[in-house]
């Protein structure tokens, strides 16, 4: 039975759960993004402990309110209405081979009304709160085609229960820019999906 919370109906502010994570950014700011893949991996929980469940989520934001409430959120059981953002792979325990969750963003196909897309990682909370320091060997890779754009291990946000990991923003010419960086949040996944877009306001 899937007891993970759906996208929320309540609002809340982002928590200050840590500094930006330590990772490798091949291109801290890359322009002209087309089709991007965000991949997440982690190892299963030790024997006798509840499964560790991480989720990739993405929120899309309109040009008129790029840091407000997302128009829609893509997560473990929901793809974008137009099929431009979707999960290729979903895991609830980290027992897959290679990357456990993979999300594809076809940015070049997104409607012109959308000016910003934020991608995050949320740790599902069960009987006890879990943070990134409780996750065994987490890893993140962001790439376009065969080019790695960024990689991270969440070591910089050990006390966070969720984190934004990528931001894509249209420039004045309509091309998508990629902005790297892992930024931690406190709170449950439902709150995170509502507030993740407030991060990194210029």
**Model pLDDT for residues 117-164, shown as the tens digit of each residue:** 999 999 998 778 899 999 999 999 999 999 999 999 999 999 999 999
Give the three-state DSSP class for 181.
strand
- Give the count of alpha carbons within 13 A of 133, CB side only: 8
Across the range 42-70, mean pLDDT stands at: 91
Total length of the chain: 202
pLDDT value of position 27: 43
Give the three-state DSSP class for 193.
helix
User: In this structure, what token pair is assigned to residue 103?
Assistant: 């999300």
Superfamily of domain 23-197: sav2460 like domains (2.60.60.30)
What phi-psi label fits residue 137: left (phi over 0), alpha (psi between -120 and 50 degrees) or beta? left
Separation of alpha carbons 93 and 97, rounded Å: 12
Strands (E), the chain: 23-25, 29-31, 35-43, 54-62, 72-74, 85-89, 101-106, 114-123, 136-144, 147-152, 162-170, 176-185
- On the question of pLDDT at 94 being above 60, the answer is yes
Across the range 81-86, mean pLDDT stands at: 92
- On the question of pLDDT at 52 being above 60, the answer is yes
pLDDT value of position 11: 31
Separation of alpha carbons 10 and 15, rounded Å: 15
Tell me the domain boundaries of the chain: 23-197
Residues contacting 102, CB < 8 A, separation 6+: 37, 38, 39, 40, 56, 87, 88, 89
User: In this structure, what token pair is assigned to residue 171?
Assistant: 């420039």
pTM of the model: 0.83
User: In this structure, what token pair is assigned to residue 164?
Assistant: 């934004």
pLDDT value of position 85: 96
Strands (E), 44-124: 54-62, 72-74, 85-89, 101-106, 114-123
- On the question of pLDDT at 59 being above 70, the answer is yes
- Please list the alpha-helical segments (H only) found in 9-131: none
Most confident of 26-35, 91-100, 103-112: 103-112
pLDDT value of position 200: 62
- On the question of pLDDT at 113 being above 80, the answer is yes
């Amino acid at each position: 039975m899937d007891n993970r919370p759906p996208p929320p109906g309540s609002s809340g502010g982002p928590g200050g759960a840590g500094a930006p994570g330590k990772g490798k950014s091949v291109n801290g700011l890359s322009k002209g993004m087309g089709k991007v893949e965000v991949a997440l991996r982690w190892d299963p929980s030790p024997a006798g402990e509840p499964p560790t469940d991480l989720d990739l989520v993405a929120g899309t934001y309109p040009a008129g309110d790029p840091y407000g409430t997302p128009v829609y959120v893509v997560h473990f059981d929901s793809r974008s209405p137009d099929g431009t953002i979707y999960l290729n792979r979903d895991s609830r325990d980290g027992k897959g081979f290679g990357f456990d969750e993979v999300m594809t963003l076809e940015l070049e196909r997104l409607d012109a009304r959308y000016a910003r897309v934020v991608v995050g990682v949320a740790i599902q909370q069960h009987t006890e709160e879990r943070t990134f320091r409780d996750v065994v060997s987490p890893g993140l890779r962001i790439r376009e085609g065969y080019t790695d754009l960024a990689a991270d291990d969440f070591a910089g946000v050990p006390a966070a229960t969720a984190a934004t990991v990528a931001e894509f923003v249209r420039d004045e010419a309509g091309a998508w820019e990629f902005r790297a960086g892992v930024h931690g949040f406190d709170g449950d996944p439902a709150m995170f999906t509502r507030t993740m877009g407030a991060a990194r306001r210029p």
